Amino acid sequence: MSEGGEGNRAYGHKAFKRSKSHFADRITADGRDGWPVEPGRYRLVVSRACPWASRALVARRLLGLEDALSLAVVDPIQDDRSWRFTLDPGGRDPVLGIRFLSEAYDRRETGYPGGVSVPALVDVPSGALVTNDFQQITLDLATQWTDLHRPGAPDLYPPELRGEIDTVMAEVYADVNNGVYRAGFATNQEEYEAACAGVFRRLELVAQRLAGQRYLVGDTITEADIRLFTTLVRFDAVYHGHFKCNLWKLVENPVLWAYARDLYQTPGFGDTVDFDHIKRHYYQVHTGINPTGIVPLGPDTSGWLTPHHREELGGRPFGEGTAPGPVRGGEEVPPQGRA
């Protein structure tokens, strides 16, 4: 998610187009791009408001990479210099020593003209950004960081299912993950209606797929489920009202609502979600489409903890593995942000 300054006010006034990740280096087991996997070397910078960054939060926790990959959480509210570390003492990240994520971008490429986005992986020794490739980061955490995974970590991208996973993820990305943004930031009625219709058309197809199986691909949680979840968990809170994706609410679709609750109640998913950060970011930062900055009181999030009965479909959430342990100290979601 890349936003800040004039860009925030421009949303809703110019055609929306998601920028490609400018820094697409990969951190790999063999270090092919000059960035080898090393415990403690890199820092993951996220916003709990951002669905793309939330993918990395979920994957890191499911794989048990907390000791190997440290975490920085930025303020959900930005100023003209974009993502900032004002949640930390003194307004500086305690590891990188910087006040704004843009400083890590500048250390990588001085005067970089693009947006400052999360998730971002930063090289701690140099303080320079390594990658902001949100599509690739989680896949590499699953496949390149395996030596540092916790015992019992699930296989989120199993080789025999990658073709099907990739197809499902591409469809969900185009119509749902990115589709809600195209609807929300549309500049004319025709553009909005096409995007909004596409969102719900794909959600209906996904619901048909999930009516008879617990997870999107195979009988375990995969990367595809992570990517769908991070949009669904924000749907009623921000996309339904703020982005005008209001043909129906998530809670009105029995299959998707049960599926989303199943994942939310699975360790590694709901315990990374901060509804307070989500709502304040979208409603207060996107001044181009919500100029008052008023944050709505609802919806009631207590329903996320109600029984879902999806276990009746079978499936093994973690395959041959196990659930992650308790959330590490200091990484808990504050009470006001939880369901």
Stated as kind and residue range, the H or E segment containing 122 is strand 120-123
Instruction: Return all residues near 233 (Cβ < 8 A) that are at least 6 apart.
Output: 54, 260, 264, 269, 270, 273
CA R_g for the chain: 19
Active site residue 245: no
Sheet holding 120-123, edge to edge: 70-73, 42-46, 120-123, 128-131
Grouping H, G, I as helix, E, B as strand and the rest as coil, residue 123 is strand
CB 257 within 8 A of CB 250: yes
Instruction: Return the amino acid letter for 328.
Output: R
181: annotated active-site residue: yes
Q: Please name which of 65, 62, 226 lies closest in space to residue 155, comparing C-alpha atoms.
A: 62
Q: Give the chain's largest Cα–Cα span.
A: 55
Spatial separation of the C-alpha atoms in residues 169 and 8, rounded to whole Å: 27
- Which of 11, 42, 50, 282 is an active site residue? 50
CA distances from 254 to 15, 173, 216, 281 (A): 34, 22, 16, 28
- Is 37 within 8 Å of 120 (Cβ atoms)? no
Choose the catalytic residue: 11, 105, 157, 181.
181
Task: Cite the active site residues.
Answer: 50, 181
